[in-house]
A and B are shown apart, each in its own frame.
Chain A
């Protein structure tokens, strides 16, 4: 099976702009989660989608949003970018059955200048 893919891999944006990141999960996985990883804060949970519905949400401002399509592909959007949004954004998909392990994509490295 193909792994989790994320596009783009690298992105440079300016403060105030918006950005959309894409994630394609492993075939058959209906759950997709998004994480923000920074050196100081580790892996912070953003949100989880299951069958097009947001199942869980982390403690991020409303500028961070996401959605999932019927083919389980997911996108996350960050509006009005701030310098502090510079991070590695990781997407992970997981199966519906035990042990629900998460398979991570390579991430999108976002730099906000």
Chain B
């Protein structure tokens, strides 16, 4: 069945350093979404990417969707303590398929 993987599982960075998490799907996706879950909280939608090679930015966050629509990345520039949490990617094969979440990357930021 369809699988979505993410690396790394954990990342500890000094405040101000950059951070990147990578997401890979075993199948081509129609779109990919990114969510952030703060400790003790629930996942919150960040963004959706649809087009092959798409790049979107949200302030210090840069999201990319691969050309083959099987991988994606989230890059955070100059991390802050407010970036702490687990970042999940989630993909669907078609708009009506179930959403498959990756296992997430847990980010810790050392002040």
Whether the Cβ atoms of A102 and B103 lie closer than 8 Å is no
* A45 with B101, Cβ < 8 A, contacts A99-B31, A100-B95 known: yes
A/B pair count, beta carbons within 8 Å? 53
For the complex, count residues of B whose C-beta is within 8 A of A: 23
Main secondary structure of the interface of B (DSSP, over half): loop
List the one stretch of B20-28, B38-46, B57-65, B69-77 in contact with chain A: B38-46
Q: What distance in Å separates the Cβ of B46 from its nearest Cβ neighbour in chain A?
A: 9
A103 near B99: Cβ-Cβ < 8 Å: no
Interface residues in A, total, Cβ within 8 A: 23
Give A101 to B31 CA distance when docked, in angstroms: 11
* Further contacts, 12 of them, CB under 8 A, given A55-B96, A99-B33: A42-B103, A43-B101, A45-B98, A92-B43, A99-B31, A99-B48, A99-B50, A101-B33, A101-B45, A102-B33, A102-B99, A103-B45
- Interface pairs (21), CB distance under 8 Å: A42-B88, A42-B101, A42-B103, A43-B104, A44-B101, A45-B100, A45-B101, A48-B99, A55-B96, A56-B97, A56-B98, A59-B1, A90-B43, A92-B43, A99-B33, A100-B31, A102-B33, A102-B99, A104-B42, A104-B44, A106-B41
